[in-house]
Chain A
Amino acid sequence: MKADRTLGRILVICEKPRAAQRIAEALDEGGKPLKRRMMGVAYYLARRDGDELVIVSALGHLYTVAQRGGRWTYPIFDFTWVPVHEADRRAGKRRVFIEAIKRLSRDVEGYVSACDYDIEGSLIAYNILRYTCGESSLKAARRMRFSALTRRDILRAWENMSGTLDFPLIEAGRARHEVDWLFGINLSRALTLSVKRASGFYRTLSIGRVQGPTLSFIRDREIEVRTFVPRPYWVIEAEAEIGGRRLKVEYAGGRIEREAEALEIERRCGGRVGLLKAVSRSRHRIQPPTLFNLGDLQREAYRVFRYSPSKTLRLAESLYLDAYISYPRTSSQKLPPTIDVREILSGLRETAYGPLVEELLSRKTLRPREGRMDDPAHPAIHPTGIAPKGLKGAGARIYDLICRRFMASLGEEAVRERVKAEIDVEGHLFHLKGGRVIEAGWMRFYRPYVREKEVELPPLEEGMPIRLLKVEAVRRFTKPPSRYNQSSLLKRMEEAEIGTKATRAEILDTLYRRGYVEGDPMRITDLGFAIVETLSHYCPEILSVEMTRSLERKLEAIRLGEIKADEVVEEAVEALKPILKRFKEREMAIGLEINRAIRGDIIRANTLGNCPRCGRELRIFRGRESGKRFAGCVGYFDGSCTVTYPLPQRGRIEATGKRCEVCGAPIIRVIRRGRRPWELCIDPNCPSKGVRR
C-alpha cells in the first residue's frame, strides 16, 4: 500500500495475539509500535506511509454456526452465525475481543485482513468485519497474503495486498462450517437422544461426515484383526562360517508352504559344505527426501518421536507464530523459486547447524527435492532463517526435524552398495547379503532420523568353499494386518480424500474423547463398534467415503468459484432429511443397541481380573455409605463369595490381565495425573509386598 493512497486510520485484523505483535513490529516504520489495551485486549498502533494502523487480533474464530431458536432436538436446518461465546459458555473470553474490535473500528477508513492465508483465516476476518464492524466494512477491506511471519514476508504481503477480500475462499469456509454443523449437530443429537430415550441416561455421542468414515476404517481393520487365523509356513534359518565370522544366510527359496519340504532341506543341507557360486555388487542411488507438507511432518514426527498429529500441529503452529518456520497447514511439497534458499540458510549460520549450512552454501546451485503435491496458497514447510532463541523440549525437536529435512532435501543423492553372494549347497541356493552406505549424501543432514542398516561382509571369492554351521527349518506364522496408529490412519484419511489437512488431527482426538477408540495402535471400543454398526444399519451414507469425498470436492469447487456455497449447503440439507427421518422412526431400537454397548464398555472397564478364590470376575464397586471404591467378586452381593480388596481412592485403575506370581490375585495399574503409572498386586496382604518392604 503506497503513501499516495493516504487511507488515514486502518484496522488490521490478525488471527492470534502473537501474530498481531509480529505484524505490528514489521509494519511500523520505526519497528516499535505502541502497545495499548482496550478492555484488556492488546492492540498496537503503528505508522506506515502516512497511515495510522490499528493492529488487533482475534482469538481464532469469534463467530460460529448455531441453531436459530427452538429446542434441543433434531432435525435442525434453521441456523445462523452467532458470537462463539453465545453458543459455548466456556468461550467467554472471546466476548471482550468482539467488544474491543467493535470500539477500535470506530472512525476507521480502511480494513485489512491479516489472518493466516487459508480458508479458516479468511473466514475469521470476514465474520469479524461483517458482524462486528458492519457490512459496509466488507467493501473497504483488503487481504494480506503471507506464508511466514518474518518481517520480510509481512512487508511483501503489505506491499502486494489484494484490493478486495478473497471471497471464494470465504464462501468455501462458510459452506464447510455450515455443512459440518448440519451433519454434526443432527447426527450427534440423533445418537444422543436415542440413547437417552432408550435408557433414560445422558451420554454425549457424536458423529460427523468425516468422523463416520474414519471410524468405519478402524472398525473394518479391527474385524480383520479379531477374526484373523494364522497360517503356518517355514523358513530355513542358516548360518555360515566365512573368514572366521558366523554370518546369517538366507534360503533363496523364501517361504516354504509345506513342513515336509522344509524338513527335507534341513536334512540335506545341515553341516554340509557349499560353494560360493557368484558374488554380485550393485550400487543404488537413494534420492533425498522431499520437503514436508503437514501430513508428511505429522507422520515423520509420529515415527521418530511418537507425537500425535494434533501435538505436532500445535507445536508447528507455535513455531510459525514465532516466525521460525513457514505456515504449517499446507499440502505443498514444493518451494517456489521466489523463496531465497540461500538467505534462509545464511540465517542459520550461527546455529548448531552451522557446519552443515556452510557446506550447502558453498555449492553453486541449491534446489530442494520437491514432491508431487502442491498447494496454491502456501509453500512446503521450511525454516524461515530466523535463528531460534531458547527453544526447548518438543518444540525444539519439531524444529530440528523441519530444519534437517529442509537441508536434506537440498543434499545430493546417497549411494548404497549392496553385495549378494549365492551359495550352492546340495543343489539348494542360499543368499548372503550385505550392504553399506558408501556416499552418505543427504543422509549427513538428516542423520538422527535416517533408518539404515549396515552389514559389512568379509572378502568373498567365487568358488570358495563355505560350511553351513546351522541349518534349521523354523515354523513361522502369517501375521494379522496392523491396527491403525495415528500416523497410518492420517495417511488413510488423506488417501480417501476426507477431511482437510487442518481438521484431520482434531478428528482423531474426538474419536478418543468420545470413547470410540482407545490405545495406540488404535482399538475400537464396543461403543465405537455399536456406533458404526448402528449407522451402517440405518444410515450407511454417513459411513460412506464417497459422500464425504464428493462433498469435499464440491467445497473445493466453491473455492475455485465454480459453484455457489448456498447450493452445496442446500444439497447437504436434502441429503440429511431422509437419513434423519429413518433415524427417528427407529430411535428406540438404535438407542437400545448403543446402550448395550455402553454398558458392556463400562463393565469391561470396571473388571479387574478373576477372583483368586472362585474364578468369577473381580469388579470395581463403590461402598453405599462411604462412597469409596473397592474391588469385589461379583459373588459378593449374593453372598456366594466374600473376596474384596481396598483400592487406591485417587487416579484411574486399569486391569493389566496379569496375575501376581506370589498370591495369584490380579495385578492392577494405577494411573495418576503427573505421575508415572504403577502396577501392584490388588491384595494388600500379598506376601510379595512384605518382601519388597
Chain B
Amino acid sequence: MRCKLCWRDAVEGEDYCTYHLEAYRRILEAYEDWRGAMDIGWEEFLREISENPATGEWAREVALSLLGEFRSLSPSGSPSPPSPRRRRGSS
C-alpha cells in the first residue's frame, strides 16, 4: 500500500511511509511539549505547526492531513490526538 502523502510504500499496518510516520511520531512528542509550555489544544497546535516556517515539509504534510481529518471527523474538537492505529481504523 502507498503512503497517504507520497509515492513511497507505507509501513505495514500504517497509513504512512517510514518518513511521514517518523514526522507523525515527532508531532505527537512535540504536542506534549507545547501543552507543557502553553494552553493549547490539538487543532490549534496543528494549525500553529503547519503555518510555522521552521516545520519540516514532511511534518507539515502530516500536520495538514491530521488537521483535515480532525476537522472532518470531529467538528466539535477532540482534546487529544488520535493514535496512528485509531486513525487508520477510522479512515
A and B interact: yes
Q: Does A605 reach chain B (CB closer than 8 Å)?
A: no
Q: How many residues from B make CB contacts under 8 Å with A?
A: 22
Instruction: Flag if B37 contacts A228 (CB, 8 Å).
Output: no
- Decide: A228 near B33, CB < 8 A? Known: A223-B19, A258-B38: no
Residues of B within 8 A of A600 (CB): 7
Residues of A within 8 A of B58 (CB): 226-227
Once bound together, how far apart are the Cα atoms of A478 and B33, in whole Å?
Answer: 12
Q: How many residues from A make CB contacts under 8 Å with B?
A: 21
Nearest-CB distance from B46 to chain A (Å)? 10
Q: When each residue 214-236 of chain A gets 1 if its CB lies under 8 Å from chain B and 0 otherwise, what string results?
A: 00000000011111111111000
Q: Does B23 reach chain A (CB closer than 8 Å)?
A: yes
Instruction: Flag if A477 contacts B22 (CB, 8 Å).
Output: no
List A residues 247-274 near B (Cβ within 8 Å).
257-260
Q: Does B55 reach chain A (CB closer than 8 Å)?
A: yes
Nearest-CB distance from B87 to chain A (Å)? 17
Q: Which of A228, A229, A258, A600 has the most B CB atoms < 10 Å from its CB?
A: A229
| Extra pairs beyond A226-B19, A226-B23, A233-B37 (18, CB < 8 Å) | A223-B19, A223-B22, A227-B59, A228-B55, A228-B56, A228-B59, A229-B23, A229-B26, A229-B27, A229-B56, A230-B52, A230-B55, A231-B30, A257-B36, A258-B36, A259-B37, A477-B54, A600-B7
Nearest-CB distance from B28 to chain A (Å)? 9
Instruction: Flag if B57 contacts A226 (CB, 8 Å).
Output: yes
Residues of B within 8 A of A259 (CB): 37-39
Once bound together, how far apart are the Cα atoms of A258 and B56, in whole Å?
Answer: 23
Interface pairs (6), CB distance under 8 Å? A226-B57, A227-B23, A227-B26, A228-B59, A257-B37, A600-B7
- Decide: A478 near B59, CB < 8 A? Known: A226-B23, A232-B37, A257-B37: no
Instruction: Flag if A232 contacts B34 (CB, 8 Å).
Output: yes
Instruction: Flag if A227 contacts B54 (CB, 8 Å).
Output: no
List A residues 495-522 near B (Cβ within 8 Å).
none
Residues of B within 8 A of A224 (CB): 56
Instruction: Compute the total of residue contacts between A and B using a CB distance below 8 Å.
Output: 61
Instruction: Flag if B52 contacts A477 (CB, 8 Å).
Output: yes
Residues of B within 8 A of A258 (CB): 36-38
Q: Does B49 reach chain A (CB closer than 8 Å)?
A: yes
Q: Does A646 reach chain B (CB closer than 8 Å)?
A: no
Q: Which residue of B lies closest to A475 (CB)?
A: B38
Once bound together, how far apart are the Cα atoms of A231 and B57, in whole Å?
Answer: 16
Residues of A within 8 A of B52 (CB): 230, 477
Per CB-CB distance, the 3 closest pairs between chain A and chain B, nearest first, are A229-B30, A226-B56, A228-B56
Q: Does A596 reach chain B (CB closer than 8 Å)?
A: yes
